[in-house]
Structure 1
Amino acid sequence: MASWNSLHLELLYNVLGWLAFVSWSISFYPQVILNFRRKSVVGLNFDFVLLNLTKHSSYLIYNASLFFSSTVQRQYREKFGSDEMIPVAANDVAFSAHAVLLTVFTLSQIVMYDRGSQKISKTAAVIVSVAWLSAAVCVFVAIPRHSWFWLVSCFNTIQVVMTIIKYIPQAVLNFRRKSTVGFSIGNILLDFFGGVTNYFQMVVQSIDQNSWINFYGNIGKTMISLVSVVFDILFMVQHYVLYPASKRASLHPAPVNNEPLIVTPDDPPSQNV
């Protein structure tokens, strides 16, 4: 296993990693709190939440397997080199576990609170079904060959695909409604900070190790940072530029699923935290 070349860079790497973990972990709470205050999930796209659950579940399987399994670690080093460090840290596993729990809790809010006419689309249901069916096929292929790192890499591929597409339904919903009411901007700001710090954590580690294995050896983590930052910027543009509070107060949002948007006196634009 590769050793650190600089204690200062090691410290910076760990600080950036835990900053990303804390920021990403906290990012789930503004949406949960917003849903609780409004007693409504109108404006939160259910496809986004379902795809997010599939993404984080797959990522948890990958991170936990690579972090805890000596067999998976051995097969990883056989592929990328015996001196390469494992590109999964404790904060990656902790984040994934926390993300799954909070996403499940958000789904429970969707069941409990006012949903208006919103529902999970057939497209999202098909995508999730195909993802887990693909995972099942990978399991049956890996078992006789004992290709455990290949198997967990399949889950990593699933989470990469989910990362790429999960934001699209929410961005489209915001555009259709000409509003971001019901979708927490606090979530996006924290997600953006987490993506940036996560990316720079990988950069610092690569500089210290004089190897860029972090980027191509763990493409999932790379994609999380880049894709989340791009979509977070889009959401910030929607919230602050295209549909700011002044416009949200005067515009009549477009229907969701051909039904009127439900806006109550307890649902002012200022609650979109």
Structure 2
Amino acid sequence: MAEEDAAWHSSALYILYLTLGWFAFVVWSISFYPQVILNYRRKSVAGLSFDFLVFNFTKHSSYLIYNASLYFSPVVQQQYRAKYGKSELIPVAPSDVAFSIHAVLLTAITLFQVLIYERSHQRVSRPAITITTFAWGAGLVLLIIAWPKGDWLWLISGFNIIQVIMTAIKYIPQAWFNYQRKSTVGWSIGNIILDLSGGVGNLFQLVIQSIDQHSVQNFTGNVGKLGLSLESIFFDILFVVQHYLLYPEREDIKVDEYLEIEEADPETPAHSSH
């Protein structure tokens, strides 16, 4: 990417940009493992929202389509510069592509764990199935419209919007599930701490690029990356509050016991055993 390297005004800022990108990649990538390990140790996925997993897979798949296309395709890069200016940097770093590939793989592994481990009557909700079907249906419609004109930037921008929307809603089922149970059992806080760190690093990466270019165009040119950072930070803080402040006393309650109580009497509040 020699053309992109030469466009940076400050070598120091470019190095910092790459460092922040790979920092976000490392912590975000590692953030998938605490949940996978927790599921493996418990031989159970009870307490983990399946709606979250389905939304998360759709989100990361859409983000991979955007990142890989904009980073590797000269045609898409040409269309990007034609729209935003020839001097504008491509707002996708190598770490973004690496993260997307890894995220899709690890999310798929977690979905596989759902198939083989104890689920305690949990299932994907109908609204989640409807939303996910609509998202992929929208992607197909975008492809059909973009294909004749070869407007690939418009197509992947559509997938970028899909991933922003999925990021905005994917945490809601888990946050609501925690609230209903008055517990975060089954939901790895290690995942959240690492995810929060990655969101902050990713946001600062955009800031560094803007400082170097004396422009905020990279924010508007990649709303997906900006949205990913801000939405992740917001929900991660919410989960930290749930885990450490709202429901810390519930950590000794087995999620399987709660689900059995709820299944037997849906009207019984989650905190009735105390």
| Residues 20-56 of structure 1: per-residue CA shift (max 9 Å, x gap) | 0001000000000000000000000000000000000
Are 1:72 and 2:76 counterparts? Answer: yes
Shift of 1:213: 1.6
Corresponding letter in the other structure for 1:224: L
| Superposition pairs of residues 75-94 of structure 1, within 5 angstroms | 75-94=79-98
Shift of 1:249: 2.9
Q: CA deviation at 1:258?
A: 3.8
1:146 Cα deviation after fit: 1.0
1:248 to 251, 262, 269: 251
The 2-side partners of 1:229 and 1:175 are apart by 19
Q: Check whether the contact 2:185–2:254 (CA below 8 A) recurs between aligned residues.
A: no
Q: Per-residue CA shift, 1:134-174, capped at 9, x if unaligned?
A: 01101110011111100111110110100000000000000
Q: State which of 242, 259, 271 in structure 2 corresponds to 1:238.
A: 242
Q: What is the percent sequence identity of the aligned residues?
A: 59
Contact 1:160–1:220 at 8 Å: present in 2 too? yes
Structure 2 gaps, min length 5: 266-274
Q: Which residue of 2 aligns with 1:24?
A: 28
1:5 touches 1:209 (CA, 8 Å); kept in 2?
A: yes
Is the 1:178–1:254 Cα contact (8 Å) retained in structure 2?
Answer: no
What amino acid is the match of 2:185?
V
**Partner residue in 1 for 2:205:** 201
> How far apart are 1:210 and its partner, in Å?
1.0
What is the rounded CA distance, in whole Å, between the counterparts of 1:256 and 1:210 in structure 2? 57
TM-score (norm 2): 0.91
The answer as to 2:34 corresponding to 1:37 is no
Alignment of 1:102-141 (within 5 A): 102-141=106-145
Cα distance in 2 between the residues matched to 1:225 and 1:256: 36
Aligned residue number for residue 96 of structure 1: 100
Q: Is the 8 A contact 1:24 1:95 kept in 2?
A: yes
2:155 matched to 1:151?
Answer: yes
Contact 2:185 2:253 (8 Å CA) reproduced: no
CA-CA distance at 1:58 after TM superposition: 0.3
- Give the SS at the match of 2:168: helix
| Whole-Å separation in 2 of the counterparts to 1:175 and 1:215 | 34
TM-score scaled by length of structure 1: 0.92
Matched residue type, 1:19: F
Cα offsets for 1:63-103 (capped at 9, x unmatched): 00000000000001111001101000110000000000000
TM-superposed deviation, 1:211? 1.3
Stretches of structure 1 lacking an aligned partner (at least 5 in a row) = 262-273
Once residues 250 and 119 of structure 1 are traced to their aligned partners in structure 2, the CA distance between those partners, rounded to angstroms, is: 21
**Is the CA contact 1:117–1:257 (under 8 Å) kept in the aligned structure 2?**
no
Answer yes or no: is the 8 Å Cα contact 1:30–1:186 preserved in 2: yes
Instruction: Report the alpha carbon displacement of residue 176 of structure 1 after superposing the two structures with TM.
Output: 0.3
Answer with 98-107 or 10-19: which moved more: 10-19
Pairing 1:43-54 to 2, within 5 Å after superposition: 43-54=47-58
SS class of match (2:46):
coil
Give the RMSD, CA atoms, in angstroms: 1.8
Kindly state the Cα deviation for residue 257 of structure 1 after the two structures are TM-superposed: 9.7
- On the 8 A contact 1:196/1:225 being kept in 2, the answer is yes
| SS across alignment from 1:259 | helix
Q: Which runs of 4+ in 1 moved over 2 A?
A: 246-258
The residue matched to 1:50 in structure 2 has which SS? helix
